[in-house]
């Protein structure tokens, strides 16, 4: 399984963190071990003193594909939920200062709890649902 995350796609949040707003969103990955098993508590990690969270829309991709036209994208996902993206901001700031990737601040164990996935058919206007 891949957990593909999109960052800096919300302009107000990027500005709140004094980050430049890129022309294109930033992509990063989380490992399977980032998933928090259902009904388990999140424990503040011992390696950080500044963990933040963001509520995220999570889309489950159901088919393989490449170079998919936007008008056909809705055919490639079939479930949706809400998730939390925990970030160790102190580690992220250190990495950013050094020009290093910041997965260490985002991809730690249990940093990605998810809700229950629901069929996309439960939502109206499926074809107008946009990820950007």
Indicate which CATH number applies to the domain containing 61. 3.90.850.10
pLDDT per residue, tens digit, the chain (132 aa), is: 788 888 766 667 667 777 777 788 778 889 999 999 999 999 999 999 999 999 988 989 999 999 999 899 888 999 999 999 999 999 999 998 999 998 899 999 999 999 999 998 887 665 555 554
- Boundaries of domain holding 70: 31-38+45-128
Distance CA 64, CA 75 (A): 11
- Within a domain: residue 74? yes
Distances 123 to 76, 116, 127 between C-alpha atoms, Å: 16, 15, 10
CA gap 26, 86 in Å, rounded: 16
The total number of structural domains in the chain stands at 1
């Amino acid at each position: 399984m891949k957990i593909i995350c999109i960052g800096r796609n919300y302009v107000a949040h990027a500005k709140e963190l004094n980050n430049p707003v890129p022309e294109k969103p930033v992509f990063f990955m989380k490992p399977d071990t980032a998933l928090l098993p259902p009904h388990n508590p999140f424990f503040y990690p011992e390696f950080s003193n500044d963990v933040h969270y963001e509520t995220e829309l999570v889309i489950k991709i159901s088919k393989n594909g490449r170079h998919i036209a936007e008008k056909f994208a809705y055919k490639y996902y079939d479930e949706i939920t809400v998730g939390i993206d925990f970030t160790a901001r102190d580690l992220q700031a250190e990495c950013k200062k050094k020009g290093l990737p910041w997965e260490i601040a985002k991809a730690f164990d249990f940093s990605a709890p998810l809700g229950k996935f629901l069929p996309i058919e439960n939502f109206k206007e499926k074809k107008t649902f946009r990820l950007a």
